[in-house]
Chains A and B, each alone.
Chain A
Amino acid sequence: TQLLEQSPQFLSIQEGENLTVYCNSSSVFSSLQWYRQEPGEGPVLLVTVVTGGEVKKLKRLTFQFGDARKDSSLHITAAQPGDTGLYLCARVDNNNDMRFGAGTRLTVKP
């Protein structure tokens, strides 16, 4: 049973479009992290969100943590081909126990 549900599973868009990917859980988690993984590499941390309602921005990426700390979203503005990759959310609980969602595979076409 997956603790985190990510949607959509696949997303293919044109350069310049905006997009949002979602990460949902049925239970509260202490913190949530977003990672991006490119082929042949390990996941790279983008952001950690801890406080309910928190919003963090990283250039064209906006991360939001739900008020109830059960969900999160990642919004990308004016997507570029370099944004292509696998986006993973991960919940972190006690003992640094981190569990990943299944990921959203994003393709941005030039």
Chain B
Amino acid sequence: DTAVSQTPKYLVTQMGNDKSIKCEQNLGHDTMYWYKQDSKKFLKIMFSYNNKELIINETVPNRFSPKSPDKAHLNLHINSLELGDSAVYFCASSQEAYGYTFGSGTRLTVV
């Protein structure tokens, strides 16, 4: 039973398209996150939600919009995709600061 599951694992799409990545956690954690990992493997936080409330919103283009329908789900919608959006996107969850559990990532390729 996967603790943090993301779908899809791979996503190839054309510039200008709109796409969504879904994330679900079954750990009962209160906080969920989206991280972006670039080609140099640097992991950068994008958003965090605590009990459906937006807590962290880094300097991310407003083409990226997170949505949390309930505390077990945090989806990421991206409008008007650009080449520079190509990266691996990781969802994670945590309960307070007691370690984060990450999903296995969504590799987004914009062509």
Contact = CB atoms under 8 A, between A and B. Distances in A.
Contact of B97 (A37, A40, A96): A96
B43 A88 contact: yes
A88 to B, nearest CB: 7
B42 A42 contact: no
A96 B105 contact: no
Contact of A48 (B4, B42, B99, B105): B99
Interface in A70-99: 86, 88, 92, 95-99
A48 B105 CA distance: 22
Contact of B42 (A40, A45, A92, A103): A103
Most A Cβ at <10 Å: residue of B35, B45, B97: B97
Interface string B97-111: 111111111000000
Interface stretch (B48-56, B61-69, B71-79): B48-56
Interface residues of B, number: 27
Main secondary structure of the interface of A (DSSP, over half): strand
A44 B50 CA distance: 21
Interface of B: 4, 31, 33, 35, 40-45, 48, 50, 55-56, 90, 92, 94, 96-105
Given A42-B92, A43-B90, A96-B55, 15 more contacts: A31-B97, A40-B104, A42-B4, A43-B43, A45-B101, A48-B97, A86-B41, A92-B97, A95-B55, A96-B31, A96-B94, A96-B96, A98-B100, A100-B42, A100-B43
13 contacts: A31-B97, A33-B99, A42-B103, A43-B43, A43-B90, A43-B102, A44-B102, A45-B99, A86-B41, A96-B96, A100-B35, A103-B41, A105-B41
Interface of A: 30-31, 33, 37, 40-45, 48, 86, 88, 92, 95-100, 102-103, 105
